[in-house]
Amino acid sequence: MWETIDNYFQGKLGITEKEAFKARLELDKNFAEEVALYLQTKTHLQEEKLRQRHAEWLPNRQRGKKVVIYQRVVVGIAASLVLIMFGWLFLKKPELTPEQMATEYIEQNFDKQMGVSMSDNADSLAIGKQLAIEGKVNEALKIFDELIKNDSTNFQAKKIAGIVSVKAKYYDKAIKYFDVLGKQQGLQSNAGYFYEALVLLKTNLPNNKIVAKNLLETVVKQNLEGKPEAERILEYW
C-alpha cells in the first residue's frame, strides 16, 4: 500500500492506477488513514525542522539585536563628534594673526586721524594733510619735517607724518616718525610705540616681529595709548 501512496504523490502512477487510488480513498478507510499519516508525517517533519533551527537561531538574533544597538550607539557617537567638529569649524571666530590684526587696525583707524587738527601750527599741519590727501605725499612730508624741525615737541606733526608715510607705504620712514614720537616724554597720550609696533607687524619681517612684540609689551606695561588693542594682539601671538 505504501508504495502506491508514495508513487501517487511522486506522480509515478498511470491513469488507471491513479483512478484506482482515488476510488480506494473513499472505499478503504485503512488506506485513507495511511495516506493521512503519510502526509501528516511529511508536514510534521518539515515543521519540526523549522522549529529546531528557529530555536537554534534565536540566540543569534538576540546577539544581533545587541550588536545593532552597539552599532547604533557607536554610529551615534561618531555622528555627534562629526557634528561637533563641523559646528566648531563653522562657528568659531576666524583666528587672526598679529600681522592681520595690525593691518586691520591701520586700515580702520589711520584715515580718521587725517581729519583732526589740534596743534599750534594748525595751518601748516592742515596744508600737509590736504597735500597728503591729494596724493602729494612728498610735499606733505616736507611740511611735516619742517614743522618737527622748528618744534621738536610737535607730536601731532610726527604722528600725522607717520600715518601719511604708512599710507604711502614708506614704512621705514613711518617707523622713524613713530619711534621719535614714542620716545617723546611728557605727553598725556602717546601712541608712538603702538603705531610703530603696528607698522613693524605690517612689514612682516622676522626681526621686526620681535621688536613689535617688545613694543606692544611696553605699551601694556606703561599703560600707553593703544593698550587694549596691544593686549588683544598679544593674546593672538
Partner 1 sequence: MPFFRKTLTDSELIDGILTGGQQQRYYENYLYDQYLYLIRDAVRKHQLDDEDASIVYSDTILTSIENIQRGRFEGRSTIKTYIHQIFSNKCVDVIRKKTTKHSLDYQRVSLQDLLMPIPDNKRSILVDIIKQQDYSQLNNFIKRLGERCQEILKQWSEGFTDEEIAKEYQYTSAGVAQTTRLRCLEKLREFYKAK
Using CB under 8 A as the criterion, which residues of the chain lie in contact with partner 1 when the complex forms?
2-3, 6, 8-9, 11, 22, 25-26, 32-50, 53-54, 57-58, 60-61, 63-64, 67-68, 70-71
Residue with smaller CB distance to partner 1, 50 or 116: 50
Write the single-letter amino acid at 53.
Answer: R
Residue with smaller CB distance to partner 1, 64 or 228: 64
C-alpha grid cell, residue 5: 501512496
Give the nearest distance from C-beta 32 to partner 1 in angstroms: 6
Give the nearest distance from C-beta 44 to partner 1 in angstroms: 5
Give the nearest distance from C-beta 75 to partner 1 in angstroms: 12
Give the nearest distance from C-beta 11 to partner 1 in angstroms: 8
Give the relative orientation of helices 98-113 and 206-221 as an angle to the nearest 10 degrees: 70
Residue with smaller CB distance to partner 1, 37 or 85: 37
User: Looking at residue 225, what DSSP letter applies?
Assistant: T
Kindly report the backbone phi and psi dihedral angles of residue 117, in degrees, each rounded to the nearest multiple of 5, phi listed first.
-140, 115
Residue with smaller CB distance to partner 1, 76 or 135: 76
Give the nearest distance from C-beta 221 to partner 1 in angstroms: 60
Q: How far is CA 208 from the centre of its chain?
A: 30
Give the nearest distance from C-beta 19 to partner 1 in angstroms: 10
Q: Are 149 and 136 in contact (CB under 8 A)?
A: no
Give the nearest distance from C-beta 35 to partner 1 in angstroms: 6
Characterise 11 by phi-psi region: left (phi > 0), alpha (psi -120 to 50), beta (else). Answer: left
Q: Give residues with Cβ within 8 angstroms of 175, minimum separation 6.
A: 196, 199, 200
Give the integer Cα–Cα distance in Å for 75 and 211. 51
Residue with smaller CB distance to partner 1, 25 or 211: 25
Residue with smaller CB distance to partner 1, 49 or 183: 49
Residue with smaller CB distance to partner 1, 53 or 169: 53
Going 152 to 157 to 160 to 165, the CA torsion angle's sign is negative
> For residues 157-177, b (16+ Cβ closer than 10 Å) or e, as one string?
bbbbbbbbbbbbebbebbbbb
